[in-house]
Amino acid sequence: MITDFLMPKLAMAMNEGTVNEWLAQEGDYVEKGAPIAVVETEKVSYDIETPYAGYLHIVVPEGETVPVEVPIAQFASDEDAYRSIAGEQASTASSPVAEVPSSTETDAAPQAPSASAGGRIKASPLARKMAADRGMELAAVSGTGPGGRIVKRDILAAEQQGVTTAAAGEPVMMPGTSLEPVRIPFKGMRATIARRMVESLNTSAQLSSFWEVELDQLLALRQQFLDREEWLGTRVSINAFLIKAIASAATQVPIANAMIEGDEIVVHRSVNVGIATALPGATEYDSILVVPVLKNVQAMGVLEIDKAMKSLIERARRNELGADEMSGSTITLSTTAGLSPPGTRATPVLNLPNTTLVGPSTPEQKPVVRDGEVVVRTMMPLSVTFDHRVMDGEPAARFGTALHEAIEHPGLMLG
């Protein structure tokens, strides 16, 4: 018996997915419910479990993108059925194992990587490439894939633990030692990000406003939280206050919390803040932009916002967010403040279908005039990018004013 394994539809808006990595090899016997592949869609990667048991025949190779509900693999119930679909691959792939793994073996803790009879360490192609790029010795990496196979997450975990030394006597070409250009595949998540950026600019009328906002009262209020950090259980970040300020301003100017759906402008009552976050990519040349969503912020306090935001971002770094946590934003905050040189102004691209994006930049102390006197204040450049199809200049100005007041006088939004 042969069963097709289809590209799963992981979210309502998902139309296609990329097979980022196979977690089992051609010809392996895979138990029902075992992780079988890493599928990437709309900036999120998911570990996919198989609802079938059988011998694996890979139809779609790693790195390929296909529509949802298209077969990406097949499962054969026995060796004869596997040979009938795999053809020549059956003789070159690891031959189907005669003994099916027992449940105790399946549930065992991850083991150190085991070598095949020829001494070859079991690792996915992506994991091998990542290890080579990092000068990493595969023999020092513990595999968590099926049968102890080393997969992408194992390389990233080993890198955090400092496993970056190649085997003795093995030459390693570190980045920058060659004059050959570095070629990065323009597909998968990188291509998805690019497509969405171009789509945003081509389909909306984007305009940005810029000004500076004084942070001294906000920083003084934050210090009260920091003084009680141990008791509160968290070191409250400035972004938590900014998210609260965005919710306050969006509540006062609801059109900033709207979006176009078909032939309607939908004004949302719930303020769901998309937190645009840059994460490191697989190599030093790449990065990943994700937008986890903090929902119903208008009903949350700063401390609750801070804890929920940090949980989202931490799980985003571990690639553990579900589709519902990456969708449903109504307004966006860019979190690049602190990464740019002081005084930087930017025009962040809208996160469609959101109408509004708030882009803070790096604060700096500078002289300003207050009540006729020159004093030193902590000033932060701030931008608001909005979709002029939805929001005209007058409500955009009111939103900016409400945001300005909430940030400069944070006690008011906490009342």
The C-alpha R_g of the chain, in whole angstroms, comes to 25
Domain that holds residue 74: 1-105
pLDDT, residue 185, reads 73
The amino acid at residue 181 is P
Looking at the fold, whether 116 and 172 belong to one and the same domain comes out as: yes
Looking at the fold, whether 150 and 165 belong to one and the same domain comes out as: yes
- Residue 41 and residue 73 in contact, taking contact as beta carbons nearer than 8 Å: no
Looking at the fold, whether 211 and 320 belong to one and the same domain comes out as: yes
Q: Which of 41, 75, 105 is the last residue of a domain?
A: 105
Looking at the fold, whether 346 and 291 belong to one and the same domain comes out as: yes
- Residue 288 and residue 189 in contact, taking contact as beta carbons nearer than 8 Å: yes
- Residue 204 and residue 353 in contact, taking contact as beta carbons nearer than 8 Å: no
Structure tokens at 34: 């075992």
Domain assignment present for 37? yes
pLDDT, residue 305, reads 96
Q: What is the total residue count of the chain?
A: 415
Which ranges of the chain have pLDDT less than 70?
A: 11-13, 42-44, 88-120, 125-126, 129, 146-147, 163-178, 188-189, 281-284, 286, 337-338, 415
Looking at the fold, whether 160 and 254 belong to one and the same domain comes out as: no
Looking at the fold, whether 84 and 115 belong to one and the same domain comes out as: no
Please give the backbone phi and psi of residue 49, each rounded to the nearest 5 degrees, phi first. -95, 150
Pick left, alpha or beta for residue 330 (phi over 0 → left; psi -120 to 50 → alpha; otherwise beta).
alpha
Q: Which of 56, 89, 105 is the last residue of a domain?
A: 105
Looking at the fold, whether 293 and 357 belong to one and the same domain comes out as: yes
**Torsion on CA atoms 283, 287, 292, 298, rounded to nearest 10:** 140
Domain assignment present for 183? no
pLDDT, residue 196, reads 83
By annotation, the residues acting in catalysis are 388, 392
Looking at the fold, whether 282 and 221 belong to one and the same domain comes out as: yes
Looking at the fold, whether 246 and 328 belong to one and the same domain comes out as: yes
Domain assignment present for 303? yes
Domain assignment present for 234? yes
Q: How far is CA 384 from CA 155, 211, 329, 387, 388, in A?
A: 39, 9, 16, 10, 12
Looking at the fold, whether 256 and 120 belong to one and the same domain comes out as: no
Looking at the fold, whether 142 and 282 belong to one and the same domain comes out as: no
Domain assignment present for 68? yes
Measured between alpha carbons, how far is 336 from 122 in angstroms, rounded to an integer?
39
pLDDT, residue 164, reads 55
Total tally of structural domains belonging to the chain: 3
Global pTM value: 0.67
pLDDT, residue 13, reads 59
Looking at the fold, whether 67 and 43 belong to one and the same domain comes out as: yes
Which CATH number is 220's domain given?
3.30.559.10
Which CATH number is 35's domain given?
2.40.50.100
Q: DSSP states of 202-230 as a string?
A: HHS-EEEEEEEEE-HHHHHHHHHHHHTHH
Domain assignment present for 333? yes
Measured between alpha carbons, how far is 43 from 41 in angstroms, rounded to an integer?
6
Domain assignment present for 151? yes
The amino acid at residue 64 is E
Measured between alpha carbons, how far is 134 from 377 in angstroms, rounded to an integer?
44
Nearest of 257, 324, 267, 262 to residue 293 by alpha carbon: 324
Structure tokens at 153: 């997450």
β-sheet bridge partners, residue 58: 73
Question: Which residue in this structure is represented by tokens 């909306």?
Answer: 204
pLDDT, residue 43, reads 60
